[in-house]
Amino acid sequence: MAAETVTCPKGNNYKLHKEHALTDKKDVSVKAVPVESTKAIVLFIGGAGDKESYYFSGPYGNIQEARKDFDERTKLLANDGKYKSEWLGYNEVKGKQDIQRNVLALIPYKTCPVYVVGHSLGGWNGAHLTNIMSGWGYRVQMLVTLDPVGEGALVWLGSDIYRERPEPIAGDWVNVKAMPAIRDSSDGVADFGEKWLITCGPTLNVNINTNHANALGLFTARIAGDKSAADMLFESIMEEFS
């Protein structure tokens, strides 16, 4: 799958909290404040008909395939308690109560690195999620949007998505758009929902010759030399433990 690349300036970067010493005015001994143990949290957010049926279609588990592939790669980290992933529907990350119940409950502390991988409507709501979480003081290290959809008024009326266009906040943002040479029915669905046309903002913005439904293919296609979005996500997580 050939990739057409457009690069844009990097977005906001977050600084890690470091260990520092505190002393009480009446206590001459030094009190060390330990850094919380790093644990990477990756949220895989599916689109319409992914985790539950959508107008009698699905569920198809498109983003779940990408998650399973990545979880196999991070098995050792998970066994050591350093990595956790979660499969969420796009409608499970919209609104304060849903975010608190389905997302914040997974995060052990605010400086814990959080990674968001969203497909279709999940890319749209996932991008909104990065802005909301950052505003609440959480650290979103990377956002990966896989052929995000949500511009259409009709899909907004029939789906639990935000109306306004997202303004993501993350350390890095990789956007992968499906531009298939041979279309299938999923591309028609994406056209109905209206793809989010991103011209600038991501760290890496690429077009891939694959279909909209192929979340795994979008996630694992080589888009930067020999690297995929999955590779970049894995490298970012590994840097947390170096």
| pLDDT for the residue 72 | 97
8, 205 contact by CB (below 8 A): yes
Using CA atoms, how far apart are residues 25 and 56, in angstroms rounded to an integer?
Answer: 66
Helix boundaries (H) for 74-159: 75-79, 96-102, 121-135, 153-158
First to last CA, the chain: 32
| pLDDT for the residue 141 | 97
42, 117 contact by CB (below 8 A): yes
Using CA atoms, how far apart are residues 17 and 170, in angstroms rounded to an integer?
Answer: 16
Rank 30-44, 157-171, 220-234 by mean pLDDT and report only the highest: 220-234
For the entire predicted model, the pTM comes to: 0.85
**Tens of pLDDT, residues 48-57:** 878 775 655 7
Share of the chain above pLDDT 90, in %: 68
Please tell me the least confidently modeled range out of 12-16, 27-31, 124-128, 137-141: 12-16
| pLDDT for the residue 178 | 97
| pLDDT for the residue 212 | 96
Instruction: Assign 11 a pLDDT band (cuts: 50, 70, 90).
Output: very low
Using CA atoms, how far apart are residues 185 and 117, in angstroms rounded to an integer?
Answer: 23
- Measured CA to CA in angstroms, residue 206 lies from 8, 34, 36, 91 at distances of 11, 40, 35, 26
Average pLDDT of the segment spanning 67-95: 96
Question: Reduced to 3 DSSP states, what percent helix, strand and coil does the chain have, rounded to the nearest 5?
Answer: 30, 25, 45
| pLDDT for the residue 219 | 98
Report the run of H or E that residue 187 belongs to, with start and end: helix 185-193
pLDDT of residue 16 exceeding 50, the answer is: no
Average pLDDT of the segment spanning 207-211: 97
Q: Which two tokens stand for residue 158?
A: 């029939």
- All domains in the chain, ordered by first residue: 3-240 (3.40.50)
Q: Which two tokens stand for residue 183?
A: 């279309």
What letter represents residue 31's amino acid? Answer: K
